[in-house]
Amino acid sequence: MRIDEKFAKNAALKEKILMFGEGNFLRAFIGRILKNCNERSGFGGSMVALQGVEKGMAAAINAQNGLYTLVERGYEKGSPVTKETVVDCLSRCIDPYKDYDAFLATAADENIRVVVSNTTEFGICYDEKEPARRPHRNYPAKLCDWLFERYTKSGGGRGVLVLPCELIDRNAEKLTECVLRYAKEWDLGGEFLDWLQRECRFCNTLVDRVVSGYPAAEAAEMEKKFGYTDPLIDVCEPFLLWVIDSETPIDDYLPVSSCGLDIVVTTDFDSYRTRKVRILNGSHTSSVLAGHLCGFETVDELVSDKVFHRFLERELKEEIIPSFEGKDLLKYAGEVFERFRNPFVHHRLTSIALNSVSKFRARVLVSIEDCIGKGIFPSRLIFSLAALIVFYEKEMGGAVHDEAVYTERFRTYFSEQDACGRGEMLRKILSDEVLWGKDLTGIAGLCEYVERADARIAEAGMYKAVEEAAEGIL
């Protein structure tokens, strides 16, 4: 039996959210939020999804009437929890590569007042090659086209709330820039530009939920338990946080204040972002490369190891948290640790390791600099820099996946090692402003510690070096 043969879609729901993207994250994140809004406040809304890439999931979603099973499992307050929910508020998924007109037709529906998106961190960009003629492929171009259609069909009437979920800083501001640029490039007119800025709200957001997606290894067992088949099972952690940067409530668009989830509408957006980037993302980036070289595969394996647990614990309490001011930092760090040890998510270290140079700059280097400015020497954070260099050296052509401009520079430095010596090579890497945005040899004690850590890794192996770094004896 299929899921759509066992359950019926709620035909009373009206499409109220346009979702750019149909992947695992949005279905686990917005799907849960909308389900709660419907159940707790009588919102009566469904979401219509737009397939994000040419080979997407529209056909699979529509084949089972938009129904799918959301499995939330992990730890809450120290206890294991599992919650299984049939999400019935995804109305359909449109493939714009096959039916662009169907996508544009949704603009005429004034029940749709919220636009959300998750098009990866590379999705919010301006493509100068994007033509003025339809169909558009670039996300901001498609959004601009849709908004112009909305403006035209409504006679300059009801605008929308745009909530991008892409994991980039100031995501709504960057999206707005792209949309306005297309509008000007395509000569859509000053009145449309005025309408965009007067009637439409673009809010920066921060999303936080680990979604592992389809559980291939467990799917058959799950389906036996459910009593139906579902090729769209979506697995995620119980934790969910959505921070929305807005001076005014958004409940007129989406009743988030009464949905029973951790959704924060605030003017103090930056503090939440800094907390997440430094504590959660910074902990990831500063540990997973060394962890991979020690043979660990997932985050839960890593934090279950006593050495890495100690390393992360002391790094957080003695270096990351003291580096900045914020709300409930120790509490949040405790939640992060609980989430890290979730054995059901299977968050692979190699996934986190993608684009490590830019991640290190954004997530770790800022904490190093702020620690130094406060008279704290962040030896464990600096150790992670040494581990990054060794990772790029040993895993080039393997687990290393980064922008070519960075990998080529590393390759050049590694090839020069025999001629200039290991120490000089390390100093060249650390002084490279293309890699780090600045010359890191100017940070007091950093270069010397990286050299010492590098030598110890070579002599004793990565695991022993991490152990000594954790205890502060390296």
**Whether residues 91 and 231 fall in one domain:** yes
DSSP symbol at 168:
S
Number of domains in the chain: 2
Q: How far is CA 163 from CA 51, 89, 95, 196, 270, in A?
A: 17, 18, 21, 15, 16
**Whether residues 58 and 143 fall in one domain:** yes
Q: How far is CA 200 from CA 114, 156, 192, 195, 399, in A?
A: 10, 11, 11, 7, 43
**Whether residues 317 and 170 fall in one domain:** no
**Whether residues 237 and 283 fall in one domain:** no
Quick one: pLDDT at residue 326?
A: 87
**Whether residues 290 and 367 fall in one domain:** yes
Quick one: pLDDT at residue 239?
A: 93
What dihedral do alpha carbons 274, 442, 404, 209 form, nearest 10°?
Answer: -10
**Whether residues 202 and 333 fall in one domain:** no
φ, ψ of residue 343 to 5 degrees: the values are: -80, -5
On whether residue 251 sits in a domain, the answer given is: no
What's the pLDDT tens digit per position in 107-147? Answer: 999 999 999 999 977 789 999 888 888 899 999 999 999 99
**Whether residues 312 and 390 fall in one domain:** yes
Quick one: pLDDT at residue 276?
A: 93
Quick one: pLDDT at residue 251?
A: 97
**Whether residues 185 and 303 fall in one domain:** no
Quick one: pLDDT at residue 469?
A: 97
On whether residue 256 sits in a domain, the answer given is: no
Task: Using pLDDT thresholds of 50, 70 and 90, give the confidence band for residue 156.
Answer: confident
Tell me, what CATH number does 352's domain have? 1.10.1040.10
**Whether residues 278 and 130 fall in one domain:** no
**Whether residues 151 and 230 fall in one domain:** yes
Q: Which domain holds residue 275?
A: 270-470
Domain boundary among 246, 278, 313: 246
**Whether residues 291 and 158 fall in one domain:** no
On whether residue 253 sits in a domain, the answer given is: no
pTM: 0.85
